[in-house]
Structure 1
Amino acid sequence: MFVVSSATSNTGSAVADALLAAGHQVRVLGRSLDRLQRFADRGAEAVEVRTDDPGSLRKGFTGARAAFVMIAPGIIPGSDDFPAHQRRVIDAHREALDGLDDLTRIVSLSGWAANYAGARGPVWGLRPFERALDTLTGVDLVHLRPGWFMENTLPMIDEIRATGTAHGLIPADLPLPAIATADIGAVAADLLTGRRTAATRTLELQGPRDVTLAEIAAAIGDAVGRPGARYEEIDAATLRAGLLAAGFSPHMADGTTEMTSDVAARRIAMTQPRTTETATPTTFEQWLTRTVH
C-alpha cells in the first residue's frame, strides 16, 4: 500500500497519478472526499483527514509500506499566524508517522527554499518539517527540494492574455530552475516504489534548463496570441499592495513578499548541480503547450 497525503494538491495529485498509472495499490488522503473522488474512480482508497490532526493522519498512514508527505495547505491567504499552522502540521505528521509497523519508506516534499536557513513566509516550515521527519527511525527517508514550480506562471498566463504584460518582484533576467509538478510526482513515485534510489537524503530537483521570466513572458505571449508580451519588474511595496488587494492578510502579504524577495536576491537558490539525478525532462515550452491547449 502506497499512501499519498495532500493528494488534491498539485504535487500530491501528480504522485497519486503516477502510482495509479503504474497499477499500484494507493490510498489518497485529503481534506475532502469529494475532491478525492477522481482517484477513487480509478481504484484508490480515499480517506478524509486533517493535516494538523495526528489521530486522523495516523489512521490514514496505518498499513502503508511507503508514504508521500508534505505541509499542506502551502498557503492560507487570510492567515494571521501561518507559522503556527505549519508547526501544528509538522507536529501532527511526526506523531502520526512514528512507530508504524509496516512503514519502511517516506518521501517528503520540501523545496529549494530549505537550502536557505533564513527562509521566511510560506516556506519557513520546510526545514523544520525535514528536521522533524529526520527524527523518525526505521524508515528510509528522502526529502525532495524542487526548484521554482512552472505552475507559478499560471497568474502570468492570465495577465498576459488580458494585457500583454506580466508583473512581478523577481528580476526579468534571473535564471530560475523551473520544474513541472508532474515531473516531481514521477520522481516521488519512483522513490516510493524503489524503482529509484537517492544518493543522499536530500535531493534537489530542477528542470532541464534554467529559464528567465523574460523568456517565460515571451513564450506565454506566443502561446496565447499576444506576440511581444513582456515582463515588468515591480518593487516589494507594489507586490505587497497587490496581495492585500487580492484578499491576503497583512501577515501573509508580508510573508509572501519576503519569500519572493529572497528568491529575487538569490538567497533562495539551488546548491546541487544539474545532473542526471537532479534534472527532470519537461521543458517550460512543453509544459506551456499542455497547459494552454
Structure 2
Amino acid sequence: MSRFTTTCEANMIVITAPTGNIGRPLLAQLLDSEEELRVIVRDPARLPDTPRGRVEVITGSHADAHVLDRAFDGADAVFWLVPPDSSRPPHDGWSGFTSPAARALAAHGVGWVVAVSALGRGTPLADHAGLVTASLAMDDLIAGSGVAYRALANPSFFENLLEDIDSIRDEGVFVDVVDADRKAPMVAVADIAAVAAELLLDRSWTGTDSVPVLGPQDLSPNDLARIMTEQLDRPVRYERQSLDELHTTLVGYGLDAAFAQGVVDMKRAKDQGLDAGVARTPETASPTSFEQWCATTLKPAVLS
C-alpha cells in the first residue's frame, strides 16, 4: 500500500452500520464530541433515541452509490463497515459492496477513512483465508481511492459466542472448528469502537496502515470454556466440529455456497495461525478481558 498525506477542512464524520455491534457503541462515543455526525442506516427506527436530533440521518444502504453521494458530500472522515452478506461470494460482498464507496470517497475529497478489517496481512495464509482475504482486498480498494486510511485489523470477537447462546444456556456447549488448545487473540467489539473513535476524532495521521486490536490476552477454546464455567457458575465445554460439518451446516442454513466456503477457508486459516502474525504490545492490546465480557454481556444473555 502506498502512503500519502491528505488534509481536509470539514468537520463531518459519517458512520456506516450505526445500529450494529461496533457502530452502535462508536456512535455513542462520538456523541460526546463536538463533531458533526451523519449516519447511513436502512431503518432509522433502529437508531437509539439518544442521537436523534443530534445526527443527520441518510436513509438507505451504503452499497448504493446515490446514498453514498449524499452521505459523503462535505464529509471529512468516514467509518466504514461492510456487513457480511451470506447470499453472495465473499469478494462480491466486500469489494463489490465497497467499489461505489471508493469512487465516492475520491469524488467528494473525503480525507480519512477508518474501516473494520482483519488480521493476516503479510502472512502466508492471507491469500487463502476466505472472508479475511476478501476483507484485505477491500482495504486495498479503499486505500487506492486517495484517502488516509486505517484498517482496524481484528481477530475473532467475543460476541461471536452469542451465536451459541442457546446451546451454552441449555446444554453447556459451544462449538467451533479450531484445536481446543490453540491460543489466539480475541477482542470485545466495544474496544474496536473505542479505537475507531480515537482515530476519527484525531485525524492527525496520514498515509495507509493497519491498526491491530488484539484484546488483552490470547485464549484457546479450552480457556474460554474454563472462564465461562467460572463466570456462569455452571459447566461449559468446547465441542470441536469438522470443517466439512461446518460447510454442510452453513449450506443447510441457505447460505451461498461460495460464502460458506469462505467461512470454512477463514476458519481453516485461523486454526493454522492466521491471527498470530502480530505481537501484542501496549499499542495493539485492548482492555476488555474475557472475564469482564462474560460478566457484562454473556451472563445477562444466558440468564435472560
Same fold by TM-score, threshold 0.5 exceeded? yes
CA distance in 2, matches of 1:248, 1:65: 37
The 5-angstrom pairing of residues 228-239 of structure 1 reads: 229-239=236-246
2:60 is the counterpart of 1:49: yes
Aligned to 1:154, the other structure's residue is in SS state helix
CA distance 1:57–1:169, change in 2 (3 Å): same
Aligned to 2:246, the other structure's residue is in SS state helix
CA distance 1:27–1:270, change in 2 (3 Å): farther
CA distance in 2, matches of 1:42, 1:289: 33
Equivalent in 143, 146, 162 of residue 134 of structure 1? 143
The equivalent of 1:95 in structure 2 is 103
CA distance 1:198–1:164, change in 2 (3 Å): farther
CA distance in 1, matches of 2:208, 2:64: 30
Equivalent in 287, 290, 296 of residue 281 of structure 1? 287
Q: Where do 5+ consecutive residues of structure 2 fail to align?
A: 1-11
Q: CA RMSD in A?
A: 2.3
CA distance in 2, matches of 1:197, 1:211: 32
Deviations 1:195-214 (A, max 9, x none): 78589711111001111111
How far off its partner does 1:17 sit? 1.8
2:271 is the counterpart of 1:264: yes
Deviations 1:218-240 (A, max 9, x none): 2223333423x211212112222
Aligned to 2:151, the other structure's residue is in SS state strand
CA distance in 2, matches of 1:130, 1:17: 25
User: TM-score, normalised on structure 2?
Assistant: 0.85
How far off its partner does 1:247 sit? 3.5
CA distance in 2, matches of 1:87, 1:146: 18
CA distance 1:207–1:198, change in 2 (3 Å): farther
Alignment length (residue pairs): 286
CA distance in 1, matches of 2:103, 2:52: 31
CA distance 1:197–1:98, change in 2 (3 Å): closer
CA distance in 2, matches of 1:243, 1:154: 17
The residue type paired with residue 13 of structure 2 is F
Aligned to 2:127, the other structure's residue is in SS state coil
Deviations 1:4-27 (A, max 9, x none): 112122122232121113454311
User: TM-score, normalised on structure 1?
Assistant: 0.88
Does the 8 A contact of 1:121 with 1:258 survive in 2? Answer: yes
Does the 8 A contact of 1:55 with 1:96 survive in 2? Answer: no
The 5-angstrom pairing of residues 142-157 of structure 1 reads: 142-157=150-165
Does the 8 A contact of 1:170 with 1:264 survive in 2? Answer: yes
Report the identity percentage.
29
CA distance in 2, matches of 1:75, 1:122: 11
The residue type paired with residue 192 of structure 1 is L
The residue type paired with residue 278 of structure 1 is T
Equivalent in 116, 119, 122 of residue 131 of structure 2? 122
The equivalent of 1:75 in structure 2 is 85
CA distance 1:18–1:198, change in 2 (3 Å): farther
CA distance 1:197–1:84, change in 2 (3 Å): closer
CA distance 1:53–1:248, change in 2 (3 Å): same
CA distance in 2, matches of 1:14, 1:270: 27
The residue type paired with residue 225 of structure 2 is A
Does the 8 A contact of 1:161 with 1:226 survive in 2? Answer: no
